[in-house]
A and B are shown apart, each in its own frame.
Chain A
Amino acid sequence: MFSKDQFRDAVIEGIKRVRDVSELKLRDDESFSDVGLDSLDGMNLVLEVETILGINLGEFDLKGANTIDTFYEKAKEAVAKQS
């Protein structure tokens, strides 16, 4: 399993890749839409986080998980369900 710090780093790196930006500041409780992510970007963020952390989130829906805090909680559940 991954730690919250590892997950946060993966999300930040994932958003940078998806948005093609080199710098990004995002609080744990700040919505991904605040940094310009739309639904397609959200799907790609899930893929990037999976790649970075080497995990499989299965049939994952980012709905209701649009902050680092909520994404982390939902991802932990998803990984537990997959294993």
Chain B
Amino acid sequence: MKSDFAIKGQRDYLSGSIVFDFIMDRLRRDPHDMDMVFYKKTLNNCLFTSETPGPDTVPVARYRDRDGTVHVLELPETITRRVDYPEERMVTACRFEGLEAHVPAVIDHFSFIEKLVAAYKQMLQTMHAGEKHKFIFVQLKLKQIPAGGFTVRHERKLGNGFFQAAVLDDSGRLGTVFFNEW
């Protein structure tokens, strides 16, 4: 399946949240035990396939869950469309307390992954105020998507500029999200 994406705001890359939401909307109904990894930046549309790419191909991303694997491969066509993306609306709706962000169940039309990325990015930017880093969503390991509100809890910095946070809801820990600084 091929995408017809639009770039969010003035970003110079295809947001991981767009790729994740495409899989949720088009390819999965009730995902469990998800593991989504992003390998490289792109500004191009993508092909979503279950066929494993050749050893010389670096995919944009790989998604795995109980139902199998989806490889996300870069297509030659550059994305030309852009859409307004008021990320600050999500940040304003979240409640930040120390190393945690409490994210409400509904913020306008924004998806779970958009809210998660906005909340943790804001936490990292606050923790690194004054530094010229960009924080990019690179991996998500998640049992299931929370039905309602959820909490993002910063856990640690790992090597090579990686950051780890837990995703929790009333039932406990749902998974882990990772960002990288660029």
Task: Give residues in A with beta carbon < 8 Å to B.
Answer: 39-40, 42-44, 46, 58-63
Contacts and interface: CB of A to CB of B under 8 A. Distances in A.
A44 B164 CA distance: 11
B160 A61 contact: yes
Interface string B144-182: 000000000000111110100000000000000010100
Given A43-B162, A46-B158, A62-B158, 13 more contacts: A39-B160, A39-B162, A40-B39, A40-B139, A40-B180, A43-B139, A43-B158, A43-B160, A44-B139, A58-B156, A59-B158, A61-B158, A62-B159
Contacts of B180: 40
Interface string B34-63: 000101000000000000000000000000
B138 A59 contact: no
A70 B138 CA distance: 26
Interface of B: 37, 39, 138-139, 156-160, 162, 178, 180
Contacts of B156: 58-59
A13 to B, nearest CB: 17
B46 to A, nearest CB: 18
Nearest to A64: B159
A43 B178 contact: yes
Best-surrounded residue of A42, A43, A44 (most CB of chain B within 10 A):
A43
A40 B178 CA distance: 10
Contacts of B157: 59
A15 B60 CA distance: 21
A44 B14 CA distance: 23
Contacts of B160: 39, 42-43, 61-63
12 contacts: A39-B159, A39-B162, A40-B37, A40-B139, A40-B162, A42-B160, A43-B178, A58-B156, A61-B158, A61-B159, A62-B160, A63-B159
B37 A43 contact: no
A39 B160 CA distance: 7
A46 B160 CA distance: 12
A66 B156 CA distance: 20
B23 to A, nearest CB: 19
Contact of A60 (B138, B139, B158): B158
